[in-house]
Structure 1
């Protein structure tokens, strides 16, 4: 069990994917994402979401991400946030997304 104060430490925000590139150096198939979080700026993330999404489908898509993890090096790429998703029955990620357009950078709670 965690407390409400524990949950409040997790900074989860909305953002829009503004750039998607292949990530051939990743151990598992992944994309490199650049996500616009409004007042927080653009942050990069590595995401293993190639099973359900093409680069074209992702561009302009709003996502939900944790933005206050420390940067993590994945191969030759620095990931600055964690895009959230649900693992399907094949252990592939389905993105968590707002069901209506919202401003980038809004706090999830």
Structure 2
């Protein structure tokens, strides 16, 4: 990923909130050089693989870390169930008319018959 000072700032924030007080320890845990971590913190090139590993290790949202979208803990949002997520995924790519019909069908089913 190209140079992005805002991303570097988010990476510094995530590291400061994590359990890593020393960049050396973080680099060792990720199996990368200290120079690589320093480059990331300054907004320099970050591979997707390294960004994923960093987000996982620091327990932060990858979307937030890389793009600044959502919240730092957006990946922890569990307000949607697995079944609901399946429905959302199934609606994607369908025409607006099909989406409307499917939503209408769901809304017509009495709540006492909805499986949880």
Fold-level similarity (TM above 0.5): no
Whichever structure has more helix as a proportion of its residues is: 2
Larger radius of gyration: 2
Kindly indicate whether structure 1 or structure 2 has the higher relative contact order, using CA contacts under 8 Å at least 6 residues apart: 1
**Normalising by the residue count of structure 2, what TM-score does the alignment of the two structures yield?**
0.25
**Normalising by the residue count of structure 1, what TM-score does the alignment of the two structures yield?**
0.26
